[in-house]
Amino acid sequence: MLVADVLDRWRAEIKAGELDAGGVSERLERGDLERSVGKRVEREEKAGLVHVVNAAGVVLHTGLGRAPVHPEAAAAMGETARRYGTLEVDRFTGQRNRRDDRIAELLGRLTGAEAAIAVNNNAAAVLLLLNTFAAGRQTVVSRGECVEIGGSFRMPLVMERAGTELVEVGTTNRTRAEDFRGAVGERTGLFLKVHTSNYRVVGFTEELDTNGLAALGAELGVTTAFDLGSGLLETEGAEPLDAMRDEPLVREAIASGVDVVCFSGDKLFGGPQAGFLVGSPAAISALRSNPMYRALRLDKVTIAGIERTLELYLDGRGDEIPTRAMLRRSSAELLPEARALADELARFDGVHTEVVEDASQPGSGSAPDVFLPTPVVVVSVASMSAAALASALRHGEPPVFARIKDDRLLLDPRTLLEGDRERLIDAFRAVTAS
Residues sharing a CB contact under 8 Å with residue 420, sequence separation 6 or more, in sequence order: 53, 54, 55
Residues sharing a CB contact under 8 Å with residue 234, sequence separation 6 or more, in sequence order: 240, 241, 249, 251
Burial 55-76 (b: 16+ CB within 10 A, else e): bbbbbbbeebbbbbbbebbeeb
367: left (phi over 0), alpha (psi -120 to 50) or beta: left
As to burial, measured by CB atoms within 10 angstroms (0-12 exposed, 13-18 middle, 19+ buried), residue 433 is exposed
pLDDT at residue 16, rounded to an integer? 73
- pLDDT over threshold 60, residue 151: no
pLDDT at residue 70, rounded to an integer? 97
360-365: average pLDDT: 83
Pairing of the two strands 372-381 and 275-279: unpaired
Contact 345, 428 (CB under 8 A): yes
CATH class entry, domain 329-433? alpha beta
Over the stretch 34-69, which tens digit does the pLDDT of each residue have?
777 667 766 766 677 889 999 999 999 989 999 999
Contact 111, 226 (CB under 8 A): no
Q: Residues of CATH 3.40.640.10 domain(s) within the chain?
A: 71-321
Over the stretch 375-389, which tens digit does the pLDDT of each residue have?
999 999 988 999 999
CA 214 to chain centroid, in Å, comes to: 28
Question: From CA 296, how far away is CA 353, in angstroms rounded?
Answer: 48
Q: Residues of CATH 3.90.1150.180 domain(s) within the chain?
A: 329-433
Contact 192, 227 (CB under 8 A): yes
Of 114 and 367, the one with more pLDDT:
114
Residues sharing a CB contact under 8 Å with residue 39, sequence separation 6 or more, in sequence order: none
Question: From CA 301, how far away is CA 37, in angstroms rounded?
Answer: 38
> In CATH, what is the architecture of 71-321?
3-Layer(aba) Sandwich (3.40)
Shortest CA distance to 224 belongs to which of 162, 174, 156, 279?
A: 279
Q: Is the dihedral of CA 373, 241, 155, 271 positive or negative?
A: positive
- Per-residue pLDDT band for 102 (boundaries 50, 70, 90) equals very high
- pLDDT over threshold 60, residue 166: yes
- pLDDT over threshold 70, residue 27: no
